[in-house]
């Protein structure tokens, strides 16, 4: 992982562009605990060149199903399968047992397919999330039959589970990691801040109840505690449902502001 970071930083310096580590994580039991080392290395290099990083709040990732990845995971959930769609949402170990074959053979029968891999340590996830310069990021595959819950739960999970319940950081810090810090790192002028004249991108939520509802078993579920969502001044979510408004727009990076 250090070699990977060194290579990325070198490319950034030579090409003259900012480096974004997305998403920062330590995969595999041999790397558990190494976030202390990587965060120290990242922080040291941040003083020399533009570097930022994000993290999503789960110990599992999701991508294409493969035997190699499955072999290094403590648990694998099949998120979709074109060959055998009825197995979506089930553990690979259970699928192999039902088929009466090895895990590798089960993978071959399921392909092409996607999977959720449990390959990270919770202590590393928390340490990376808590790091001052870590943005909260997520991605997701909305067309998966049984997607990773990060698609529906990431930001509410940070506010509720990691912020309010575990006390990893104050509410204001959690919000900043999702908004102002991201806008600053990507040079998005008048975004991620609450002030007169800025774009009205706002989420109204109950700080005492906001949390994820999506789970690995039931990954498609709106977060709780979210009252209203406003994008570019237009209400897009209210009363537990979408308003149908689509005021979003492509955002251009303000190069000069980022360099300053």
Q: What is the pLDDT of residue 258?
A: 40
**Domain hosting residue 29, numbered range:** 1-56+121-137
219 and 125 part of one domain: no
Q: Are 78 and 146 in contact (CB under 8 A)?
A: yes
Q: For 6-47, what is each residue's pLDDT tens digit? A: 999 999 999 999 999 999 999 999 999 999 999 999 999 999
Same domain membership, residue 236 and residue 131: no
Note whether 44 and 130 are same-domain residues.
yes
Do the domain assignments include residue 227?
Answer: yes
Q: Does 127 lie in the same domain as 187?
A: no
**DSSP letter string over 53-101?**
EEE-S-SEEEEE--HHHHHT-SEEEEEEESS-GGGTTSBHHHHHHHHTS
Within-domain flag for 132: yes
Q: Are residues 133 and 233 in the same domain?
A: no
Share the mean pLDDT of the chain. Answer: 96
Q: pLDDT tens digits, residue range 242-260?
A: 999 999 999 999 864 444 3
Residues 230 and 132 in one domain: no
pLDDT value at position 254? Answer: 85
Residues 243, 127 within the same domain: no
Mean pLDDT within 187-191 = 95
In a domain, 217, yes or no: yes
- Among 72-86, 137-151, 246-260, the minimum mean pLDDT is found in 246-260
CA pseudo-torsion sign 151, 152, 155, 159? negative
**Count of domains forming the chain:** 2
């Amino acid at each position: 992982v250090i070699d990977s970071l060194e290579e990325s930083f070198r490319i950034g310096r030579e090409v003259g562009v900012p480096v974004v580590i997305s998403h920062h994580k330590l995969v595999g039991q041999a790397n558990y605990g190494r976030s202390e080392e990587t965060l120290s290395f990242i922080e040291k290099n941040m003083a020399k060149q533009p570097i930022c990083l994000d993290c999503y709040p789960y110990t599992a990732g999701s991508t294409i199903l493969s035997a190699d990845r499955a072999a290094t995971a403590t648990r694998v959930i099949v998120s979709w399968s074109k060959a055998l769609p009825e197995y979506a949402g089930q553990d690979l170990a259970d699928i192999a047992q039902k088929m009466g074959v090895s895990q590798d053979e089960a993978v071959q029968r399921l392909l092409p397919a996607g999977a959720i891999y449990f390959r990270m340590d919770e202590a590393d996830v928390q340490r990376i999330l808590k790091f001052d310069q870590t943005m909260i990021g997520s991605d997701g595959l909305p067309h998966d039959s049984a997607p990773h819950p990060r698609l529906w739960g990431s930001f509410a999970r940070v506010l509720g589970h990691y912020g309010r319940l575990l006390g990893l950081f104050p509410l204001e810090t959690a919000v900043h990691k999702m908004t102002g810090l991201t806008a600053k790192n990507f040079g998005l002028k008048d975004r991620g801040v609450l002030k007169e004249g800025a774009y009205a991108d706002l989420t109204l939520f109950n700080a005492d109840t906001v949390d994820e509802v999506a789970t690995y078993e039931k990954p498609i579920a709106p977060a709780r505690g979210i009252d209203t969502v406003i994008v570019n001044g237009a209400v897009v979510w209210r009363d537990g449902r979408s308003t149908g408004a689509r005021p979003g727009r492509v955002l251009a990076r303000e190069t000069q502001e980022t360099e300053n």
